[in-house]
Amino acid sequence: MSDVVKPKRGGPRSTVDWSESQPYKRIMVEKVSPAIGAVIDGVQLSDIDEETFNEIRRALNENCAIFFRDQHMTPEQHIAFGRRFGDLDVHPAAANSAGFEEILVISADENSNRANGEAWHSDVSCEPQPPMGSILYMKEIPPVGGDTLFASMYAAYDALSDRMKEYLHGLVAVHDGNHVYKGLYQGVADKPSYPMAKHPIVRTHPETGRLCIFVNRSFTTHIVGIPKDESDAILGYLFDHVEHPNFQTRFVWEENSVAFWDNRCAQHRAIWDYWPLRRYGHRVTVKGDTPV
């Protein structure tokens, strides 16, 4: 008989008990995968009342990433929607803001040598207080391609063995913006430096109280206080682990779709498979708190 223990990826998870949930009254919420993501219907984000706002916040907490179709917002309305969730983050390396410092332009076309967010990450996790969430409104999309992958860091944490959870608890890792942002934009001068921060590898979500993994392939460079080869091996394992398809969904954009993801418990990766075609949108990013 084999003594090899199977990974828990498809096993029981400490997810919300859906049968216990109160029904939504203002919005329709349809989950798109077991681990992460829901499409929200019946709402225009340019005009929401308090009860609808509360239900959107609850849907985000229950699904980590929520998606809206056929939205019509001016940049001012987009910013105002973001502000309902908190103060807005100004990106430390933004090269284009469409005239609004709260907006990060997400754009790639035939002249691009890169696209935003092509590696798995949680937005600007190098900041001491990384963003709570990001709200991306896509105005132009290619006929096919340009999808975005999202992965639940709750599901990734839940699937770790108890021995690995025990090992990771209390460890802190460095998230460094310098190697990500330096020289990123052709023809745009670098800032003297970019943010760098230390965060717990396992963090507690401040609203749901659930535990999730908080390291990502883009920003996390090393674990503090252990030898480099051990740090490389553990981070390598975690980067591969969190990217397992069982923890993911893949969002297929339409013109005027909005994706709102929670950076505290989700990672994402944009797929640049549409060159030389154009993809264009605006992102508003809500400030977060110190990970604990």
Report the distance separating Cα 199 and Cα 210, nearest Å: 16
Site string for ligand SIN, 249-268 (x = CB under 6 A): -------------------x
**163 part of the active site:** no
- Per the CB < 8 A criterion, the answer to whether 86 and 260 are in contact is no
CB of 115 to ligand SIN, least distance (A): 7
- Per the CB < 8 A criterion, the answer to whether 176 and 221 are in contact is yes
CB of 151 to ligand SIN, least distance (A): 13
Among 148, 218, 249, 257, binds ligand SIN (CB under 6 A): 148
**121 part of the active site:** yes
CB of 120 to ligand SIN, least distance (A): 10
Among 106, 159, 266, 284, binds ligand SIN (CB under 6 A): 106
Identity of residue 259: A
| 3 state SS of 257 | coil
CB of 106 to ligand SIN, least distance (A): 5
CA distances to 36, 151, 184 from 154, rounded to whole Å, are: 9, 9, 31
Q: Is 195 in the site for ligand SIN (CB under 6 A)?
A: no
**58 part of the active site:** no
Q: How many CA atoms lie within 13 A of 211 on its CB side?
A: 15
Q: Which of 121, 199, 269, 282 is catalytic?
A: 121
Question: Nearer to ligand SIN by C-beta: 146 or 291?
Answer: 146
CA distances to 56, 60, 83, 101 from 135, rounded to whole Å, are: 12, 11, 11, 15
**268 part of the active site:** yes
The sign one gets for the Cα dihedral 43, 68, 247, 212 is: negative
> Which residues are known catalytic residues?
121, 123, 268, 283
**Residues in touch with ligand SIN (CB under 6 A):** 106, 116-117, 134, 136, 148, 268, 270, 283
